[in-house]
Amino acid sequence: MTLSIEPKSKLSLAAFLNLSETEPASEYINGKIYQKPMPQGKHSLIQTELASTINQQGKPRKLALALTELRCTFGGRSLVPDIAVFEWSRIPVDENGEIANRFESHPDWVIEILSPEQSPNRVINKIIFSIQHKTKLGLFIDPNDRSVMVFQPNQLPEVKYDSDIIPVLNVLGDWQLRVEDIFSFLQVN
């Protein structure tokens, strides 16, 4: 399926960034605006639980921070990954030492969860673009076939299933995440 709205006519990145935010978020890609679909149950639960799990590992030791639906502007695009993970030393701060509102840099780890009405190729393209612009790790999670496609610089993508271990950021040390861990979040009873 296609995105929820047709791309609007070309405009500059600066003009896009001056527009009001939409709900769900819109992204700026190659001079066009694309609105993300509204997350549904499986997508939303995986997104919430996975970000929380990453933060349980990275936040107490100030290693990494996972943020959901965060606008990241870099490489001439403005993307809103489902989960953007930044190594602690790369989190932008304001003059008060608080987290900045604008992130004008690539995430270190980008995670996208396929929604039923999304184009897999468009989502994968966002991950590839991020990897080409210094992102260290990308995950494409497909709830339909319970797989995770892993993207890393200078490597072909790998598809992982079941008890396969998924790479995580090196700063997270020996923490291990398995495909089945991600899909276990879907169990509510």
Residues of the chain where predicted confidence (pLDDT) is lower than 70: 1-9
Domain count within the chain: 1
User: Would you state the pLDDT for residue 165?
Assistant: 98
Strands (E), the chain: 26-29, 32-35, 64-68, 72-74, 77-79, 83-87, 109-113, 137-142, 147-151, 158-161, 165-166, 177-178
User: Would you state the pLDDT for residue 54?
Assistant: 98
User: Would you state the pLDDT for residue 9?
Assistant: 58
11-65 per-position pLDDT tens digit? 899 999 999 999 999 999 999 999 999 889 999 999 999 999 999 999 999 999 9
Residue 18 lies in a domain: no
Q: Whole domain around residue 155: which residue ranges?
A: 38-184
User: Would you state the pLDDT for residue 8?
Assistant: 47
User: Would you state the pLDDT for residue 3?
Assistant: 41
User: Would you state the pLDDT for residue 99?
Assistant: 98
Residue 148 lies in a domain: yes
Phi and psi torsions of 26, nearest 5°: -110, 155
Residue 66 lies in a domain: yes
Q: Residue 153 belongs to a domain with what CATH number?
A: 3.90.1570.10
Residue 29 lies in a domain: no
Q: 66 is written with which tokens?
A: 């996972």
What predicted TM-score, i.e. pTM, was given to this entire model?
A: 0.93
Residue 10 lies in a domain: no
User: Would you state the pLDDT for residue 93?
Assistant: 97
User: Would you state the pLDDT for residue 146?
Assistant: 97
Residue 65 lies in a domain: yes
